[in-house]
Structure 1
Amino acid sequence: MTLTHDEFNDEVDDFVGDVMNAVNCLEPGEGWLIDVAMASADRLRSVVDATLPLRGPGDGSDGGLAELSATYRLCVDSYGTHIAVEHSSFVLKATIERAPIIRWDYDRRPNNKPRSHVQVTAQRGALSHILSRLGHKTPHNIESLHIPMGGERFRPCLEDVIEFLIRDCGFKGSAGWKQAIQDGRARWRRIQTRAVVRDSPECAVAELESLGYKVIPPEAGARDERLDRLTAW
């Protein structure tokens, strides 16, 4: 049964709660903001936009070193039964330069790029040299490369990005951030596991039966694999 307007917004509320739990793992500076546009009565679309100034060791209460933004556009999934992410973008910027340092992007319907990819703004002589020899249009703009990250189902979640910022980069995490990150990541991967099962139900059946489960097929017969999902870049 297709989601109603109220059911859609209820799922958006739950989704926003997960985003809040994730960003609360970082110790924010001043200017923390989350903006949510709920679905209208005639259009099941929603936008969630979070902006978080990041604090490093020794930073004042206002941070000022860098900023993380997380943006989601939400729609109804292809079955009409749950919300789905149509687009997401996690962007790390330095406050001294507004160009993104790293951005992790996902597009449900991309054009000429991987559905899930990362872009890095950097300069690297060896890579630029290779790209030049290959005739690349912009060999010195490393951010023009869309590095694939596992497609629609296996892309990183916001919790992965936040743990990277704390562990690898050294930004300040809030008290108890490790457990909150693990809990949020587990929720995300369970959601993605259910989506993968819908993409390839016979694989799920075979694996469950190998573990000793008894699976009863539906009266209408087995569902076909969704090859468009399994083979998408």
Structure 2
Amino acid sequence: MALSHEQFNDTVREFIDDVAQAVNCFPSQLWTIEADLADEESERLRAVVDAKVDLRAPQAEPMDTLALFTANYKLCTDSYGDHLAVEHSSFVLKATLDRTPIIRWDYDRDARSKPSSHVQMTAHRGALSHLLSRLDHATPHSIESLHMPMGGDRFRPCLEDIIEFLIRDCGFQGSHGWRETLRSGRAKWRRIQTRAVVRDCAEEAADQLVAMGYTVTPPAEGHRRERTDRLTAW
């Protein structure tokens, strides 16, 4: 059954709670979340969620912000109209010094000329620029022009993955208990994605369940058509 405006906005509020759980892995005074819910006057179900986090070293002075991390989501309904879906997401790490993006993790549900899930890096040129020049690349010195694929619609990294990278690998300050919070949020995200994958290829899921000893009864009209557009998308 297609989501109503009220149901959609209730689902968005739950989504916001999940984002808040994730960014709360940073000290609470360093982050904010803003959201625009679906307009009751509009026929389209769309919402926007923006999270911003000031990143500091663990022993930093109170005002010593080294970088800014932003997480932006544009939300809609899935192809069937009955589940919340991410239309676009962008996780961006920027240096405070010059506000230049360092790493950008993007997802576009309807990407055409680039991978739907990809990462862009603003990095030093070196050997990679030399190779791109030899390949007659249009912008060999612009490393951020490369869109590195990250698993498409279903298998892209979640917010919790990026936050763990910022705390564990980069060394930014985390809050107490961040590890368990991220583990819980990541598990929830992957369960949701598992359901989405099953909707893409229900017959494959049914075959696997049967192979594991489950009894599966297809609907009277047969298995839902396989979403080859999702399974083959870059």
Query: Structure 1-normalised TM-score?
Result: 0.97
How many Å separate the matches in 2 of 1:142 and 1:189? 30
Partner residue, 1:52: 53
Q: Is the 8 A contact 1:101 1:120 kept in 2?
A: yes
Q: Shift of the alpha carbon at 1:162?
A: 0.2
SS at match of 1:91: strand
Give me the identity figure in percent: 63
Provide structure 2 residue ranges, at least 5 long, that are not aligned to the other structure. none
Partner residue, 1:110: 111
Partner residue, 2:124: 123
Segment drifting more, 61-70 vs 183-192: 61-70
SS at match of 1:219: coil
1:1-233 to 2 correspondences below 5 Å: 1-27=1-27, 30=30, 32-41=31-40, 42=42, 43-233=44-234
CA RMSD of aligned residues (A): 1.0
User: Which amino acid is 1:33 matched to?
Assistant: T
How many Å separate the matches in 2 of 1:133 and 1:48? 42
Q: Shift of the alpha carbon at 1:165?
A: 0.4
Q: Is the 8 A contact 2:58 2:174 kept in 1?
A: no
Q: Shift of the alpha carbon at 1:55?
A: 1.4
Deviations, residues 163-188 of structure 1 (Å, cap 9, x unaligned): 00011000111101000000000000
Q: Shift of the alpha carbon at 1:26?
A: 1.5
Number of aligned residue pairs: give it.
232
Query: Structure 2-normalised TM-score?
Result: 0.97
SS at match of 1:70: strand
SS at match of 1:97: coil
How many Å separate the matches in 2 of 1:181 and 1:79? 30
Q: Shift of the alpha carbon at 1:27?
A: 2.3
How many Å separate the matches in 2 of 1:140 and 1:180? 39
Q: Shift of the alpha carbon at 1:28?
A: 5.2
